[in-house]
Structures are given as structure tokens and as C-alpha cells.
Structure 1
């Protein structure tokens, strides 16, 4: 496809937007749809997605499929390495060719897709046949470039972890931007923190925005809506990530520090205070084991009513819930319930381990034993029933009790295996957070459905782009698309004159 054809295709897309049509989104590695949810709320049309994980693809279809059956082609999981843009368009029975079907391409590719890609090698991915093309680490990125070429989007959104800025000494976003500029785009990248945009979670993410040259605009990023003085450690992590950023390239947008005049960041307490109390595991664990993801529990009525954030999660357009919500499943480890109850907000694993040791010593005394009994069956059985086995020096951050007055720490996909990084702040409940509470902290509305069992739901939530962060990015992008369409209209008007 030569440059003239590319320009004509992009001009037709701008003309379509100028006529009032919504921008059509194709998202690759969509997960359950956190970014898509934000894009939809900003007015984008969710035309298609590609997601390999079956449960995440099912969640996406259930939430955005408009009543399609679960076996519909739109709901099917797909491997981006085996699904070209042409095949996707055919599977979905779209009436347009791949290059005419989508206006925006979004991708949350795993950072391994960009591993160890030098500038010269990165450019060769789409061109000359060399040994690097046989490297499986490059295959996802090569597929992504194929989708750019085959769909000719007006705009591209890429999300990843900040460490990609310093991946084995490479500033991968800079290299990605170079490649996209050769394909006819203007590019920019920066780090956005979810807590700055109304998400009750301190979560740093790298975003790359690319706009087709025909739009005649430099990419723009949203400005913060909430203030937070970042917790200790984040500034150091940023310095490491930004070590290889070239400020002279013009691509990197400096990270914006929010004004302290803005509303404070949403705290965990404000985010969760109207969700149901869960304490059955302390008295009748069988009740908890019988509970299903779909079981709805009523909202609480906190003093003063639900917070503005809670109201947003309950009233999100298309996902409204009135009296209650589901997803109230938690992991059950009876050994740790007393430790959870005794921990103070903000406490980590070393403090939890000390509490467990103190409780163990008290229990020894009550049973007429002492530390001299070490090695005996009674001693070892009691210790195993009360003290977690992890070395505090090796796992200092394995546990963390949330502080109700602050945003949460980052939720990760590892929550699919372990939720001890997010212990509920309410000691009376003595537990880690539930699936619904994790979704709240990620800014998923209460009516959002997660397919699969509890572990799969936690994994989908931890992998997702927070919808409110996605909404902020989407609104900034929609504004630029409107401006480009308006500019095209003025140019056409002058030509007509």
C-alpha cells in the first residue's frame, strides 16, 4: 500500500467522523475490557477485539456483546498471531475491508513482545528477513505492526508497564514511536497514574499515542483530575524507568504533577464503604464455600450515604445496579484470620509475622508448652496452625493491609493466585478483599460481569486498564479526533469555494 493510498483511506475515515459517525475501535489483547469500557463511555464504537484468554474473552462478550450468544464469532477467543485483520473482518462478517473497518487501534501487548529490540532490529521486524524475525519475542510486535498496516487507523493507543522505558537498557517506547513515525504517524508517550484520574489505586502505566499525519496534531494526554502526594518509593521507581528517556526527541511528555487544589485522590474507604460486610468465614465457612459469583448481596447504607465514587460504580451507564451486586468471593485461610484482624492499616508481612509469633507464644503458654518444646509434634502442629511459613526478609511485601484513608496499592494479575497484597482494612472482617472489592478498586462498575471462577476473575481485574483511566485517555483522544475532523471540514470548504 503506497503513501497516496494510505492518505486517501485516512481522509475517508476523517470524512466519516465529520459526518457524525462514532470512531470505531479495534482493541488487541483487550482482556476483560477495562480500556474498552472507558473508550465506550467516551463515545467510541467497540467494533472488534482480540483476546487469547478464554475467560477474559467471555467477559468481554458478556459485557459488550449486546445480547450476542456465547458461541457467536464476536465472543470467540483469538490468538493475534493467528488472526489477521482480514480474517477478523471475515469472521465478524463486517461489510467493509480491513483498511476501512476501524478508526482507532488499541493494544495492551505484554512487555515481552518488545523485549530487547534495538533500533535497527526493530525497523527490520517489518522488513528484511534476518535472524531477529525468527525470535519468538518479536512475533507479537510484528503482528501488531501488521495490524497497523492492514487497518490504517487514524489513531493508535498502546498501554504497558513503565518498566518498558528501561527494558534491559532500552527505551522501547522511543523505538516503537520511531517505527510508527516511519508508517506516517506523529507520536508521544508518558506515564499516567490512575490515582490522578479518580481511580482509588496508585497504579503507574505507560501510554503511547500515535496520530496519523493527516490529523496534523501532536498527541495530547489528559490532565489530572485528582491530587495525590505519591507514596514513598514511587519517585525512585520513576527515576529508574526514565533513565533512558531522551528529552530532546520531542516524543516524551513530562509526567504532570497534579495541583494540590484538585480534589484528593479517592481513598479505599470511600471506594468500598457501601459494599456488604463479609464475615461468614469466621463463623460458618460452609456459607462462603457455597456462595457463587452471581449471588447478589445488598448494599450497606453507610452514614451520610454512598460516596460519589460509589454512586458512579453503581450507576455507570449500561451497568447500573440499584439494590446490590455480586462477586463477593474471598479466599479462605483460617490460620490467618486472627492475624488479619490484629494488623494495623498499612502493615506489611514482617509486621504480620511478628503478630503471628506473639499469638503463637501466647497459645504455647495456654497449652503448658514453651519454646523448649520445639520439634515436638504438639509444638510443630500448633506453630503450623498459627504462623505463616514465609521468610519476612525474602517476602517483605507479600502481605499488605489497606489503609482506608489512602488509595490502594497496585492490583496485579498475580491476584489470580494470591490476594494477600490487599487485606481488607476492616479488622472485624479479617480477610483479603473480595472479587467485587478488587473490581471497585480498579474502577469497574458493579454491574460488570467477570466470567470464570474466582481466580480467573481476580486475574482479569489485575490485568485490566482501570476504566476511569481509560476514560480519561479516551476523552483526550476523542477531542483530537473531533478537531481533526473539523479541520478537514474547513479545508474541504476552502476547496469547494
Structure 2
């Protein structure tokens, strides 16, 4: 089997590269990520699952904006230690593709709503420039640039659309992307076996000197090559129904100084299936909302009713509704990085359990295999899972790219 060498930029905990590794035709030369928990998890995964004995060297924890040091190495940095650099890791080998996507908060609609400047001044708007610096350095046959649909309407600094800036930089780097990004590159990942409503922009860049008919190749990829891997929609029930049930306790329990409001099972090899602590008030709200659906009454399905309930139960006022119960027979709503702060919009559909989803349930809705053990704090685990590309989709993406690489 022919193998293809790739570099993963903004690697996170490895959701995108996980799918490429599962394909079997791809070899990771290096991964770059700046957040420590994500790096630790990716190193652990590459070591324990994929047998990389050099994972601690291969996964580089560094700020990609410091591109010259990234390429050539750095010494005794107070935050990032020391490393020989990306050039040494790549060596004389050909880089066939580069994959990744800058942090999406600066492009997301939710991020713009929360930021009083609409994220216009957020430095993350410009991380694509660092990504393309790596592309220009190693001249892969193609690259994969993943992000949220909000990037298509983002205007950093209130001036040009970010897609115009990106396209200009890409073309100046000697690559082509599809002319109509909105028409072709916006994908619904629930069509690819991901049990979750998750729309993403997947931009494929082709090196001009290798693809003289780049637009034709790209249209074929988006119209035929990738869509042939679509499958029947998966639901919340498909994803999490078989996991051990976690019921509210009759009284709060402390274990090693930590409070628990729900049962903790010996999960028989299912990692990370431990519920958050919930107050009695929240448990009451969860039971009310889930029973409303189970009984078919649907009193609390509108935003207005959910906002009223929030005010009634907490005495606070919110402009957006805080609660959402997952539906057994539908895909989940999007699993976001924001899940690390609270789980009120990801309430388990079983009224008897009356809780938000666990790290393992979030991971399953993101299509991580159960043998991916997340080794950081629960908050960090939720965040990295929410930021990840679902491995089931990335595996299909990898398969669909092979004919182009060939």
C-alpha cells in the first residue's frame, strides 16, 4: 500500500489526524498544537493506540505564529521547553499533505455574539497566515483547511471578508481552492455518520503545478468523491444508549474531597463516563424538561418558554435559552468547546438520569472510539472534544483524498 506523509497543524487532541491514521494509508510526520492538555492527550493516543515510540518528539507544543523557530527549532523557552524544529522532523521526506484548521472561535457566530467587538480584533482571525507559512515551506500536493461556517461571513477589522483574505494568500502561495466556497465547501457532517448536527467548511487546496485542471478536480471531489461516503443518519440513541446509566443519589457524596450528585459505576473499560456534579435545583429542572418530552406534552420546546423557566427557577434573566434536551431519535445538537463551562444545553434524554452528558458521551457524539482515553481534567476534556473534527468524518475525508493524491 502506498503511504502519504502528512503534518497536522492546530492538531488539538487529534480528531482530524485520528481519521487519517485509521485509514492506514497515511503517516504522520509531525503535529503542532500550543495547548498543553491537548498535546498530552495526543501524545498518549499516538503512543498507546498507534505505537509511535517517538510521539513526544513528533507532537510539538509551540506557538505557530513563531514560524521561524517552529521550522528551525528553539531552546529553553519558559513555556515550550526546547525542540529541534519541524525541518528536522520532516528531514528529506516528501510532505504529501498538510491538514488542520485554526481555532474557530474568532469565526463562529456564537463567539461573535459573546464578544462585544464581534471578534473583529481577535488575533485568531489571522492564524491562517501561519498555517499557510507551513504550506509554503513544505509544498504539499494538497492541504485540508477546516473551520466553522461562520468564517464565510467573518470580516476581521470590519473590512474584507476573511475568505477573500485567505483566497488571496492561498493563490499567492501557488494553490487553488474551489471558486464557490459557500456552494461546495459547506458540509453537514451528520450526513457522514456523525450523530450530531455539525456543519463545517472543508477547504481543499491543490498545488497549481501538479493540478492544471484544479477546479475540475475540486468539483469532482465535492460533488462525487466525498459524497459517496455518506451514510444513513445516526441518532443520539445509536451513539450513547448502551452506556452505563448514572442516576441521581439520594444525598450528595464526597470522594477524595470531590462532590458527586450521581452514581459512579465501575464502567467496565468505558473511560471518562463520570457525570458532572449537579445541584438539586438543576436535577429538578432536568427531570422536568425530560419528562415533558417523554410524556409528549412539549411545554418547554420554545425558546420563550425555556427562558421563562430559567427565570422562574433561578431568578435570573437571559436573552438566550439555557436548556436543551437531547432527543433519542435525532442527532445531537452541536458539541461545542463551550461545553466545558456547563452542560445545560446537552441534557441527557433519560428523565431517570437527570443530568448533562459525560465526557464519554460527548466523545461518542463526536465519534471518538471508546479506547480513546482522555487523560486531562473533565473541563479540558470537554473543551478538546468540542473543538475536534469527528474522526468518523475525517476517516472518510482521508479515503476520498487518496484518488487525488494518486
TM-score range, shorter chain: 0.7 to 0.9
Q: Secondary structure at the match of 2:177?
A: strand
Alignment length, in residue pairs? 350
Per the normalisation by structure 1, the TM-score is 0.63
The answer to which structure has the higher helix fraction is 1
Task: Indicate which of 84, 88, 100 corresponds to 1:107.
Answer: 100
Deviations 1:117-156 (A, max 9, x none): xxxxxxxxxxxxxxxxxx9567523322221121111111
Question: Which residue of the partner structure matches residue 412 of structure 1?
Answer: 336
Q: CA deviation at 1:114?
A: 8.2
Question: Which residue of the partner structure matches residue 9 of structure 2?
Answer: 28
- The CA RMSD over aligned residues, in Å, is 3.2
Q: Distance in 2 between matches of 1:460 and 1:34?
A: 9
Q: Distance in 1 between matches of 2:28 and 2:259?
A: 36
Question: Which residue of the partner structure matches residue 446 of structure 1?
Answer: 370
Whether the aligned pair in 1 keeps the contact of 2:246 and 2:265 (CA below 8 Å) is no
Flag structure 1 segments of 5+ consecutive residues without an equivalent.
1-19, 116-134, 227-261, 299-322, 358-382, 483-497
Whether the aligned pair in 1 keeps the contact of 2:310 and 2:317 (CA below 8 Å) is no
Question: Which residue of the partner structure matches residue 64 of structure 2?
Answer: 80
Whose radius of gyration is greater, 1 or 2?
A: 1
Task: Indicate which of 8, 32, 46 corresponds to 1:64.
Answer: 46
Q: Distance in 1 between matches of 2:126 and 2:141?
A: 24
Q: Secondary structure at the match of 1:157?
A: strand
Task: Indicate which of 284, 298, 320 corresponds to 1:395.
Answer: 320
Tell me: CA distance 1:456–1:479, structure 2 relative to 1, closer, same or farther (3 Å). Answer: same
Report matched runs for 1:408-487 at 5 Å: 408-482=332-406
Q: Distance in 1 between matches of 2:189 and 2:374?
A: 21
Per the normalisation by structure 2, the TM-score is 0.77
Whether the aligned pair in 1 keeps the contact of 2:35 and 2:61 (CA below 8 Å) is yes
Deviations 1:436-462 (A, max 9, x none): 000001111111122311100000011
Whether the aligned pair in 2 keeps the contact of 1:411 and 1:462 (CA below 8 Å) is yes
Question: Which residue of the partner structure matches residue 236 of structure 2?
Answer: 268
Report matched runs for 1:299-378 at 5 Å: 324-332=269-277, 333-343=279-289, 344-345=292-293, 347=300, 350-352=304-306
Whether the aligned pair in 1 keeps the contact of 2:338 and 2:386 (CA below 8 Å) is yes
Q: CA deviation at 1:342?
A: 1.6
Q: Distance in 1 between matches of 2:106 and 2:352?
A: 44
Q: CA deviation at 1:175?
A: 3.8
Q: Distance in 2 between matches of 1:148 and 1:356?
A: 48
Q: CA deviation at 1:284?
A: 4.8
Q: CA deviation at 1:331?
A: 2.1
